[in-house]
Amino acid sequence: MKSSAALHDIRNEGDIKTLVDTAFSKANDDELLAPLCQAVAQIHWPRHLTSLYDYWSSTLLGTTRYRENEPIPLHSVLNTQGTRSQRWISLLERTVEEQFSGSKAEEAKHKLATLFSRAQTA
């Protein structure tokens, strides 16, 4: 892991891609999340990743590529199942902390918490 002094904030599309790709690499190696990732891969992995790039780009960088209410396949499979949801949140937060530092990184972690808490109350 880089020292926090060497980390930069999420600033551009390359950073979004790093965040998503790194998180999914970890998820593919995770005993609890890997089966879900493999299920999504059978649907269409590149489309799923593109949806996530678009979502995080819109959320953190203000682009408008992601359309509200556009389904993201893994999230519909993940649903609000407690253990998996918590593992996914933890993995994403850890990825943000290992790769980035700054206001956009904090915004990403906050967004994760609100996304999943909203899903669990729906």
pLDDT band at residue 12, thresholds of 50, 70 and 90? very high
Distance, CA of 100 to CA of 109 (rounded, Å): 11
Q: Higher confidence at residue 4 or residue 35? A: 35
Q: CA 64, CA 58: separation in Å to the nearest integer?
A: 5
- Tens of pLDDT, residue by residue over 16-64, are 999 999 998 998 899 988 887 777 666 677 877 888 899 899 999 999 9
Give the integer Cα–Cα distance in Å for 74 and 45: 10
78: helix, strand or coil: helix
Q: How confident is the model at residue 117 (pLDDT cuts 50, 70, 90)?
A: low
Domain extents in the chain: 11-121
| Class of the domain covering 11-121 | mainly alpha
Angstrom distance (rounded) from CA 122 to CA 120: 6
For residue 34, the surrounding DSSP H or E stretch is helix 34-56
